[in-house]
Each structure stands twice: as C-alpha cells, then as structure tokens.
Structure 1
Amino acid sequence: MIENKKAHKFGMVIDLDKCTGCGACMVSCMSENNVPFKEDESDKKLSITWMRVYKLTNGKSFPETEIAYLPRPCQHCGGIGDHGHSPCVSVCPATATDYGYDTGIVSQIYTRCFGCRYCMGACPYHARHFNWWDPKWPEGMENYLSPNVSPRMRGVVEKCSFCYHRYQLAREQAIVEDREIEEMEYQTACTTACPAGAIVFGDLNNPAHKVHQIVKPDPHPDPMNHKVVGKSRNPKVFRLLERLGTNPKVYYMSDREWVRKAGDNYLKGEWENVKTHHGASSSHG
C-alpha cells in the first residue's frame, strides 16, 4: 500500500431514514456524467444506471409494514485490509480500473477497457454496467451534454466515479491559489441534488468534514478480522456486505435495526447468531 499522510479518502454517508426514493440522485447522476439511455428502458438488464435506488421492506403486513429506499452508487472499495486491491481492480487484465491512493476513488479508464467484463463479475454490488451499443442522443440533446465527461463507446464498462471531474476542477483551483480543497468545493452531483439532504460527501480522512464526524471511522482494524478497515464507530452507520472485507467508502445510516440488517444481507436466523457471538452492533459499527 502506498503511504501518503496527506492523502484524501473521499466517501459518503447516505441516511436511509431521510431518503424518500424520489430518484433525484439517479437523474442528476445521468445528467452530470452523460450516462446514455435507450428508447425502451423496460429491459433493466441492459439499462445503465450509475446510481440505482432499491426498495427495502421489513417483510411485515399492514399496519406494521415499513419501507426504506437504498441508493447504491459504486462503493469505491479499498479491498481487503484497505490496501487498494478492490475486487474489480484485482481482476482487470487491462488495468482499465485502478485505485487512487491519493483520493480513495476507484477509477474507470474507458480507452483501456476491452470489454471482458471480469470487473462486473467481481463486483459484489452490481455497480458496473456494460455498453452494448454506442450512445444515441435525441436530436438537440447533444447540446446539453457535459463537456467535462467523455461519452462512452460501445464495448466498455462504466460506473460511478464520485464525479471525479469535479475533483479535478476543485484541485486545479486550489493549486493555483496554493491552498487545500475546501469541503464544499468538491461535491458529487447526487449529493447536491438530493432534496432531502440524505447524502453527505467529503473526506473521510479530514476530521473537519461532516462525513468524518458522522462515520467516526475506526483507524484500527478488528484484531479478530484484519481484513475489515475503516469500520464506523457510530452504531447507526453500516456498510453493505461489510463481512466481505471490501471496505467500501459509501456508508449508510439508519435508526432502524431491520434496515441495518438488510444492508448486510443476513439470512433468517443469522442476525441473531451474530448478535449472540459478537454483540448487537458488531457488524454495523
């Protein structure tokens, strides 16, 4: 692992108790990053959605039914031990996807990708999408495309980049002015578009950033499980499939236990065993 004391580790917290499932994050993401769409979006296996909102339920009948919505971008995993060996990075034969040790962002370099889709198979979050066709924009819509993000050609894989182009613009301005990047200078499109304020984005390594204050990341790995790093010390905060040791930088927050339970995909009866052997908050900070 490359050591850099000044390295950023950008991440986000999504409050599932605030999320209304409106889909504004999905629309803003597509608009900001020139994500193509098809005339018939009914076949979701072929659609491309960097940010996808899932619906969760507690499985109980009315009047005890509860609903939660879970937005899922790329989790920007740090890999086992948080050494940068993300599941997708580790399997890419073309080095088309890489881990940025100075940002903690998992990149996707389209001009290197030749479409083997190993990364799609390796990603446990289904956060990657393959371009089966060249993008076609309705007449006049090409005028609304962002000049900061290149449209992707067919035959390559694409995914959420934490709006990396926004980071580049903020970094260039900060370099010119000989200073550090301010927290609000670099924010993802989904963060700024969320009407409920459910998404918080920032530098997990910076104690002054709100995302760090919410997550309270533990710098020391669990001695019983060295592969998990950056676990939250906030009992309301959890990460998806944390047991895998992928160490994602997208955290979720909820007051409801069943939501936290669903986030780690525990089977029936398994959650009780985990609480019995490791404590009620062991898997969720």
Structure 2
Amino acid sequence: MTRYAMVIDLGKCVGCSACVAACIAENLNSPTYYQPPPLAKLLGLVEEARREEARTLIHELLWTRTSVHRVYGGGSMTVYHLICQHCDNAPCVTVCPTGASFQRRDGIVLVNPGKCILCGYCIAACPYGARHVNPFTRTVDKCTFCVHRLEQGKQPACVETCPTGARILGDLEDPRDPVARLVASGQARPGSPGAVLGPTVPRVYTVPPQKKS
C-alpha cells in the first residue's frame, strides 16, 4: 500500500517561495470555495486609520498552507519550510472531538470542514505550528499534499512548481522510490531542523544543507 511522504532538500532550496505561490494558486484561490474580502474594504480601513483591522485583514489575505522562512546570519541564508508533517501518531487527530481531523490509510492527514467546530484543540496539539484557522472558510485548514491532484495522478502543486526540485513526494513503501531511498539512507531526516518531534512520526523529511568549507 502507498505510504506518502515528502522530502525537502534545503541544499537545493533557494528560498524563492515558488512553492508558496503555487499552493495559493492551487488551493487558496478558488472563487467557489474562498471569498477573500474585497480590496475596497481594505482601502476603506486604511483611509479611516483603522490600522489594526487593516493589518488583520492583510494577514488573512496572505494566509497560506505552507510557508518559507529565511534566516540571515554570518553572510549566509538558511531556509526553513513550515508545512503539515502528516504525522503518524498525529496528536491533532487524537484530540479532535468530532473526527474532523483524520488520517487516511496512505498516511495523509486531512480535515473535514463539515465536521470542524473550530474548537482549536488540534491547533494547540500540533507541535509544528502547521495548523491555522482559514479566514475565509472559518474552519481549521492545513496542507493536504494536494490530495485532489494525487487522485488525478499528478504531483502536489508545490512539488511540480519548484524550479530546483527541492520538494519531492513519494511512496515510503516502494524501495525504488527516490523518497524511500533518501529516507532509508539517512540523508533525509524526519521533521524540520530544530523542530520538537515529541511523540509524532513526521512524514515530511528534510535534507539539511551541506556545510561549506
């Protein structure tokens, strides 16, 4: 049986955020599902000097399922990716009182918006900070590995768009799969650098950048 996992190679990542833009275009920009507030409303808040409300609205407009963070120091840049880890033993699934958060047999963790009551338990339980309130649907939302694309035989939008091939998705159960080989070799490590793993078993792996001599 397929067991999906993602590998993010930080040695290949250039911090361009093409993955973020692709995620927004694929998942957060559907006119039938998301209805962002009109720009006129934002301009009106600015004109009325209602800065806090305007700042909140801007934050909502920029909400994403995945993000790229850049840390500068010592003349170099380090890149970190924030994305749902699709954990085995996922605490978000365990604490959900309605069954809205669940894990498929292929390992993908999803949220059923029809069952979500916005209690926030799963947000608090996630050790990776990868769950947020979708400001347009008013339900908890997160990365889905673009499951709708997988079911069509396609790759997630972020994987397909990455210009350097830093993100790849594959099957841990297939020893010939590049993702399975990277994980088996130890080159790809579970979770993000510096992340608190806790009791979870992340299915997003990171290849750390090579140190330059």
TM > 0.5? yes
Task: Tell me the equivalent position of 1:15.
Answer: 9
Contact residue 88 and residue 120 of structure 1 kept, 8 A: yes
* Structure 2 residue identity aligned to 1:113: C
Q: Is 2:202 the partner of 1:248?
A: yes
Q: Which residue of 2 aligns with 1:127?
A: 130
**CA-CA distance at 1:89 after TM superposition:** 0.4
Answer whether contact 2:110 2:144 (CA < 8 A) is retained: yes
Q: Which one of 88, 94, 106 corresponds to residue 92 of structure 2?
A: 88
| SS of residue matched to 2:151 | helix
CA distance in structure 1 between the aligned counterparts of 2:125 and 2:59, rounded to whole angstroms: 17
Secondary structure of 1:169 counterpart: coil
Query: Which of these residues, 54, 59, 62, is aligned with residue 69 of structure 2?
Result: 54
Residue of structure 1 equivalent to 2:115: 112
The structure-2 alpha-carbon separation of the partners of 1:11 and 1:119, relative to structure 1 and needing over 3 Å to count, comes to same
Please state if 1:73 is matched with 2:77: no
Aligned twin of 2:51: none
Matches within 5 A, 1:182-201: 186-201=154-169
Equivalent positions of 1:1-285 (< 5 A) are: 7-35=1-29, 39=39, 43=56, 46=60, 47-57=62-72, 59-60=73-74, 65-79=75-89, 86-101=90-105, 103-132=106-135, 134=136, 153=137, 155-170=138-153, 186-216=154-184, 233-235=185-187, 237-240=189-192, 241=195, 243-256=197-210
Aligned residues between the structures: 189
In structure 2, relative to structure 1, the CA distance for the partners of 1:122 and 1:66 (3 Å cut) is same
Q: What percent identity do the matched residue pairs reach?
A: 35
**Considering only aligned residues, what root-mean-square deviation do their CA atoms show, in Å?**
2.4
Q: What's the CA shift for 1:28?
A: 0.5
The alpha carbon displacement at 1:236 in A equals 5.7
Secondary structure at the aligned position of 1:89 is classed as helix
Deviations 1:15-73 (A, max 9, x none): 1111111111001011111355665695576442101001134x43xxxx321212222
Determine which structure has the larger strand proportion and give its number.
Answer: 2
Distance 2:102 2:3 in 1: 15
Larger RCO (alpha carbons 8 Å, 6+ apart):
2
Q: Partner amino acid for 1:106?
A: V
Aligned residues of 1:129 and 1:159 also touching (Cα < 8 A) = yes
Alpha-carbon distance in structure 2 between the residues aligned to 1:45 and 1:88: 24
Question: What residue identity is the alignment partner of 1:239?
Answer: G
Deviations along 1:112-153, whole A, 9 cap, x unmatched? 111111111111111112134x4xxxxxxxxxxxxxxxxxx2
Larger Rg, first or second structure (1 or 2): 1
Q: Distance in 2 between matches of 1:192 and 1:126?
A: 24
Q: How far did residue 238 of structure 1 move?
A: 4.5
Displacement, 1:213? 1.2
In the alignment, structure 2 segments of 5+ residues that lack a partner are 43-53
